[in-house]
């Protein structure tokens, strides 16, 4: 096998001897274990592992590795996935009017801080095309209204599937996705929103937050599910504010937090740090990467 880093994500019922069985499997095939992170949910008796391997010097093929691991996994009821470093993820970004998250993601990817290929930007408005042109990313303007929603989503899905998109990032895309769309890309759509939800919904949450005199504002990044804004949470952050903060100040601080939270969530996904279980995201920290 080509010298590269391989990441396995593992989920199964907890039992004695799991670490020994799994790590010994990789040892016998000549892999060097770079890191092995574990978490046990004692309430649900579930074991989670993220293990990173160095494949240098191994002679086993990918097909043989996955076939042999399947034989190990079946009697242990292991649900697993594997990612090979050489396979860089293809990403699509969905946006509407707001540019701060879009620009931040593009800049991070250009500087090498997000290991992916940003293949396209899709928007229901044409406003942000100049940013796409600046970074030489294809921009698709697909307007939508109540009468064209189904057609527009089908157009988006055709673009995503024909370009083999692995991850969809809703960087302030202000449209509600259908259940069919979300289920087609399960655990592959990341959304960002302010953390006032379920309070202060609607078009001007910062004005209403100001009127209530909030003392904390923040942002949440999560996987999109059929239940609006209730998918597995990947990352959150908050910042304290005071009575002196104006609606404009709150909005600016909120935008800064959204940038950081969304970028971290996307990076965690791209680095295979996340296992979803029962609408909870188990997010392993970076391990020497």
DSSP 182: H
* C-alpha to C-alpha distance for 148 and 32, rounded to whole angstroms: 53
| Total length of the chain | 289
Residue with tokens 């060097």: 32
The secondary structure element, H or E, covering residue 36 is strand 32-41
Rounded Cα distance, 171 and 153, in Å:
17
Q: Are 268 and 253 in contact (CB under 8 A)?
A: no
CA-to-CA distance for 168 and 289, rounded, in angstroms? Answer: 23
Q: Which residues on neighbouring strands pair with residue 168, listed in sequence order?
A: 92, 189
Which of these, 211, 129, 144, 218, lies nearest to 181 by C-alpha position?
144
- Catalytic machinery residues: 229
CA angle 284, 34, 283 (to 5 degrees): 5
């Amino acid at each position: 096998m080509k010298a590269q880093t391989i990441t396995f994500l593992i989920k199964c019922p907890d039992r004695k001897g799991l670490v020994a069985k799994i790590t010994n499997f990789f040892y016998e095939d000549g892999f060097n274990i770079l890191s092995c992170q574990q978490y046990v949910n004692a309430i649900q008796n579930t074991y989670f592992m993220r293990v990173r391997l160095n494949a240098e010097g191994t002679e086993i093929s990918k097909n043989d590795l996955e076939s042999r691991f399947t034989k190990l996994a079946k009697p242990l009821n292991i649900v697993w996935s594997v990612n090979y470093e050489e396979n860089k993820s293809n990403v699509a970004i969905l946006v509407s009017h707001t540019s701060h998250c879009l620009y931040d993601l593009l800049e991070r990817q250009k500087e090498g801080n997000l290991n992916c290929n940003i293949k396209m930007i899709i928007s229901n408005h044409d406003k942000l095309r100049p940013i796409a042109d600046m970074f030489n990313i294809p921009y698709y303007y697909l307007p939508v209204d109540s009468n064209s929603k189904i057609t527009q989503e089908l157009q988006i899905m055709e673009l995503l599937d024909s370009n083999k998109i692995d991850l969809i990032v809703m960087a302030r895309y202000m449209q509600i996705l259908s259940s069919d769309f979300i289920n087609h890309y399960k655990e592959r759509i990341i959304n960002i929103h302010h953390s006032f939800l379920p309070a202060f919904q609607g078009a001007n949450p910062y004005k209403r937050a100001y009127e209530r005199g909030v003392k904390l504002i923040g942002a949440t990044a999560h996987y999109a599910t059929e239940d609006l804004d209730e998918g597995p949470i990947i990352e959150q952050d908050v910042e304290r504010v005071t009575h002196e903060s104006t609606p404009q100040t709150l909005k600016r601080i909120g935008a800064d937090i959204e940038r950081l939270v969304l970028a971290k969530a996307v990076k965690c996904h791209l680095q295979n740090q996340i296992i979803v279980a029962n609408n909870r995201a188990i997010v392993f920290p970076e391990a020497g990467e």
